[in-house]
Structure 1
Amino acid sequence: MASLLAHSKLFNRKLLIGMVHVHALPGTPANREDLSEIIKIAVEEAKLLEASGFDMVAIENMHDTPYLKRTVGPEIVASMTAVCVAVRQAIKIPFGLQILAGANKEAISVALASGACFVRCEGFVFSTVADEGIMDSDAGELLRYRHMIGADHITIFADIKKKHSSHSLTSDLNIVDIAHAAHFYRCDGVIVTGNSTGLPASPEETKAVKDALKNTDVKVLIGSGITPSNLHEYWDSADAFIVGSYFKKGGFWENPIDPERAAELVKAANALREKE
C-alpha cells in the first residue's frame, strides 16, 4: 500500500521541490559553523524557496563529504532532526529529506520525529557501486522498519540508476527494468537523474519510465538538471521536479540561492501549468 502523500491532492498538479543543502554538520570534515548557524541558514533558504513559489522543500546533508555508507553517526541524526524541526516551524509547505549516503533508516526516523512528508532513498533496489563503495538494496529492511516505527504515512521516493554511481553490476538491466522492480518493492515514487549533480536526465529515459508506470500509483520525479529552458522537455513525463542547482548563484549547488533564478524557474512551471 502506497503512503498517503502519493495519493494526496498535492499531486493534482506537477510539483516543484527545492533543495536545501544543509551546511556541513558537526563532526564532518568541512564543518566550520556551529549548529545554530547551520539551522539559521537552512531556515532562511527554506523560507526563500517557499516565498518564490516552490511547492515543497527537500533537506539534504550534501556538504558532509566524504559521505559514510548507509550508517551515519548520532550527531548527524540529531543535527538533521534539529534542522528539520526548525524548517517545519518556519514554513507552511510540505518538506522531506535525504541523509547521505544511503542512510535511509535514519532518514525515516528523522522524518517521523520532525513531521516530514517524504524521504529520498538511494540504494532501494539492486546493487550499485557508488562513490562510497558497493551499496546493496535495502528495500525489504527499510519498509519493515518504516512499518515497525509507525511511519507508513511517510512517502519513499527512490533513486533509480542513481547519479554519482556505476551501474556495471546491473548492466543487463535498463532503467525501465529497475523502475518495475522499485514498484514491485512498494516504493511511492522513482527519481530519474543525470550522471551527476546538475546534469539533466535523459528525456527518453524519463518518458520510458513514465510510460512503464502509467498504470500504477508510482510517481515519476526528475532529480537533476532542471532549468527554465528545459523544463518543457520533461513536463509530460514527470509528476515532480527536484531542483538544487539552477536557482543557486551561477547555477552551482554550493552557492547561496539567487532569488531571481528561483523566480524564473517557478515562472516557467506556472506557464506550463497554464497550458494544461
Structure 2
Amino acid sequence: MSLRVFSPKPLVIAALHLPDFARSRGKSMAAYEDYVATNAKVFAEAGVPYIKLQDATRESGRAAPDSIAMTAALARFLRAEVPNIGLGIIIEAHDPVAALSVAHASGADFVRLKVFVGGVMTAQGPRNGMGAEAVAFRAALGREDIAIFADVHDRTAVPISSETPEFAAEWAQKTGADGLIITGSDFPDSLARIRKARESGIKRPILLGGSVTEGNVAEALGTCDGVIISTALMRKDAKPGDVLRWDIDLTRRFMDAARKA
C-alpha cells in the first residue's frame, strides 16, 4: 500500500453523504450529479484534501446492484469535476467487495470499512468482521494501492464481544488495515481511546472519526494523524430540497484552523 494517501498535512477527509438510493429512485442522474458537483466544489475550494463519498442506502445484507452502480458512477463523475481532490468510498451495506469494487472502478484512493474485525450489533442487525474478505478481494483485484481505513468500535454500533478498543485496534492492524478510524462516544472519549491505542503499540495511522470542529481540530491533530468531518460544516440555514448542503465559510475556517495546527 502506498503511503501517498497519508501525505497531505493536515489530513482532513470531508464526508459527502449521498441520498438513500432506495428512497430516492425517482430522481434523475442529472439531479444526483448536480448535488455531488455543487457540494464537492465547496470542499475543493476550501482546500480539503479528500472527499469521502458516502453511500447511505440501508441494507440488511449485501449492497443492492443499483446502489453499487450509482455510487461508482457518481464517484467517477466527482473525480472529473474536482480532479485535484482525493477520493474515498464508503458503502452503507456490510459489503467490502462492493466498496472496493466502486473504488476500483472510480479510481478512489481509499475505502472506509465500518466493521473490520470482531462483531457488532447495528440498526440493521448483527455484523461480523469483514477484514479478511476485504484484504483478500483487494489482492485479487491487484489494487494494493487502495488504502483500507478500518473503524474500531465505531459508535454507531454496539460490540457483541468484550475486547477493549485497543485490543480491537490490534486485531485490525494485524488483519491488514492501512489506517484506523477511532470514534468514541464524544470528543474526549475519542482522544482517550486514541492515546490508549498508541500506548498499546498501534503503529498504523489513526484518524478521529467524529465530533471534530473548528474549535477542537488543533487538539485533535495533536493526538491523531487525521480527522474526518461532515456535520460540523453543514449549512445551518439549509432547507429541505436545497442542493447546497455544506457551508463554504465554515469549511474555509475549519481548514484555516487545521493548517495552523
Matched, 1:33 2:30: no
Cα distance, 1:30 vs. partner? 4.4
Matched, 1:212 2:208: no
The CA distance in 2 between the partners of 1:192 and 1:251, in whole Å, is 30
Cα distance, 1:145 vs. partner? 0.9
Q: Which amino acid aligns with 1:188?
A: D
Equivalence for 2:166: 176
Cα distance, 1:32 vs. partner? 4.8
Q: Which amino acid aligns with 1:48?
A: V
Matched, 1:105 2:97: yes
Equivalent residues of 2:209, 2:227 under 8 A apart:
yes
Q: Which amino acid aligns with 2:112?
A: R
Equivalence for 1:72: 63
Q: Which amino acid aligns with 2:124?
A: E
Matched, 1:232 2:221: no
Equivalence for 1:188: 178
Determine which of 240, 257, 260 is the counterpart of 1:268: 257
- Pick closer, same or farther for the CA change 1:9–1:78 going to 2, 3 Å: closer
Q: Structure 1: 5+ residue runs without aligned partners?
A: none
Equivalent residues of 2:184, 2:193 under 8 A apart:
no
Equivalence for 1:13: 9
Point out the more displaced range, 118-127 or 144-153. Answer: 144-153
Deviations 1:228-253 (A, max 9, x none): 1111222222111110101101399x
The CA distance in 1 between the partners of 2:27 and 2:201, in whole Å, is 44
Equivalent residues of 1:24, 1:32 under 8 A apart:
no
In angstroms, what is the RMSD of aligned CA positions?
2.0
The CA distance in 2 between the partners of 1:54 and 1:90, in whole Å, is 15
The CA distance in 1 between the partners of 2:114 and 2:216, in whole Å, is 25
- Pick closer, same or farther for the CA change 1:189–1:176 going to 2, 3 Å: same
Cα distance, 1:39 vs. partner? 1.8
- Pick closer, same or farther for the CA change 1:70–1:13 going to 2, 3 Å: farther
Query: For 2:15, what is the secondary structure of its paired residue?
Result: strand
Equivalence for 2:190: 202
Matched, 1:242 2:233: no
Equivalent residues of 2:234, 2:247 under 8 A apart:
yes
After TM superposition, list the pairs within 5 Å mapping 1:54-65 onto structure 2.
Answer: 54-62=48-56, 64=57
Deviations 1:197-243 (A, max 9, x none): xx5352211222234345x3x11011111101111222222111110
Determine which of 153, 156, 161 is the counterpart of 1:164: 156
Equivalent residues of 1:247, 1:261 under 8 A apart:
yes
Matched, 1:90 2:78: no
Q: Which amino acid aligns with 1:131?
A: A
Equivalent residues of 2:36, 2:78 under 8 A apart:
yes
Equivalence for 1:153: 145
Number of aligned residue pairs: give it. 255
Q: Structure 2: 5+ residue runs without aligned partners?
A: none
Cα distance, 1:44 vs. partner? 1.8
Determine which of 245, 248, 252 is the counterpart of 1:256: 245
The CA distance in 2 between the partners of 1:159 and 1:9, in whole Å, is 17
